[in-house]
Amino acid sequence: MKAYEDLTHRGKLRRIQSVARAALNAFGFAEVDLRFMIDAGNILYRVKAVDSAPFDKSLYVENCFLLRLHWPGYQSDGAVDSELEWLHALSDAGLPVPQPLTTTEGELSVEISVPGVPKARLCSLLRWVKGRMATKHVRRWHLKAIGNLIARLHNHASRWRPSPGFVRRHYDRNGLWGDDTGTSYTADEVWPRIPPRYFDAFQGVTMRVERIIEDWGKRPDVYGLIHVDLGTKANVLFGGREARAIDFDDGGFGYWAYDLAVPLCDWEGEDVWSAYRDALLEGYLEIRSMPKEQLKQLELFQAAFRATEIFWGTACTIRRPDSTYWIERRDEAWRHINRYLKKNPHHSS
């Protein structure tokens, strides 16, 4: 058998499909239609299989599932099962999120190791959520629906008590641009490699955010379990006028205001930004309150999101210096940060 490292990318995907098949057996599905979707760290498959278990037919596609082969080393030990525990609690509470299935042994995930594939893969299976992304013709109601959804998620997180072993990344300094970002690089490795043209803007924003972090701390009125990456261009589906959240892989503990700021990043610098911000807040505040001191930092947290893109982009160019995608994304993030700093030359908390 040819060594895995010597295979082409296509060859590796063909080889690792045996992991997917073994995982599906563990979930009790032998006869399935398995279709590769994407390799983005996690390897994702769309699965069609006959399932007799009851489910919400208004929310999930019948006999359709998402199989995830989780990226080894991206999450800390226990983090994947903690995500699944969270999703299980959210779906039980009636929130529109992917519902995890259990294995025939009653577990939320299964670790699969097969000959010819290095490193065991932790695998999970989720029901396929109905809906479409709003890639075109975005309206105010889309942002209002997202605000509604985020408020419901925050309310659930404020009340829910996870198990003692629950572990997810913290989006404090360490998780945003420190040593636990998921890039596999430390801050000491990445910060010196940030190009000089980006560094002043990057440092200017991170210093402002860190002052907020120091001032606010991690009180439950400012900090809790958040999705981290919801917006019309990522991880939100719409069924009718309801927003539905997918892809909780990066979810963790962070600032409520950060979670609310991220959807606005899609519209930075555009004429619709103010109207979309108002719609997002209208949807959120219908269900959950947020103090003015937090709301007025939304633009700063948008800039914080862009700073994480510079950090990630730099880490990825260390690994792959020819990655034009991250070079371009980092440059765009820098432009957004500069716009914020020019608009807000003096920081006030």
> DSSP letters of 236-267?
EEEETTEEEE---TT-EEEEHHHHHHGGGGGG
State the pLDDT at residue 345.
Answer: 87
Residue 135 lies in a domain: no
- Of 129, 148, 183, which one is at a domain's C-terminal end? 129
The whole-angstrom distance between residue 8's C-alpha and the CA centroid of its chain comes to 28
Residue ranges, the chain, pLDDT below 50: 348-349
* Contact criterion met (CB below 8 Å) for 70 and 44: no
Residue 216 lies in a domain: yes
Give the SS3 label for residue 10: helix
107 and 234 within one domain: no
150 and 233 within one domain: yes
- What is the distance between the terminal CA atoms of the chain, rounded to a whole angstrom? 61
State the pLDDT at residue 201.
Answer: 96
Residues whose CB is less than 8 angstroms from the CB of residue 254 and which lie 6 or more positions away in sequence, other chains included: 170, 171, 172, 175, 223, 224, 226, 228
145 and 109 within one domain: no
Is the whole model's pTM more than 0.75, yes or no? yes
User: Which helix (H) or strand (E) is 219 found in, with range?
Assistant: none
282 and 176 within one domain: yes
State the pLDDT at residue 82.
Answer: 98
99 and 247 within one domain: no
Residue 349 lies in a domain: no
Residue 219 lies in a domain: yes
215 and 89 within one domain: no
184 and 115 within one domain: no
276 and 145 within one domain: yes
Distance CA(5)–CA(11), nearest Å, equals 10
State the pLDDT at residue 172.
Answer: 96
State the pLDDT at residue 347.
Answer: 56
State the pLDDT at residue 203.
Answer: 96
Give the SS3 label for residue 76: coil
State the pLDDT at residue 125.
Answer: 98
> What is the domain extent for residue 62?
8-129
- Of 129, 161, 183, which one is at a domain's C-terminal end? 129
Q: Into how many domains does the chain fold?
A: 2
60 and 88 within one domain: yes
272 and 167 within one domain: yes
- Of 70, 105, 129, which one is at a domain's C-terminal end? 129
* Contact criterion met (CB below 8 Å) for 24 and 49: yes
Residue 106 lies in a domain: yes
Burial of 61 (C-beta count, 10 Å sphere; 0-12/13-18/19+)? middle
170 and 268 within one domain: yes
253 and 120 within one domain: no
Residues counted in the chain: 349
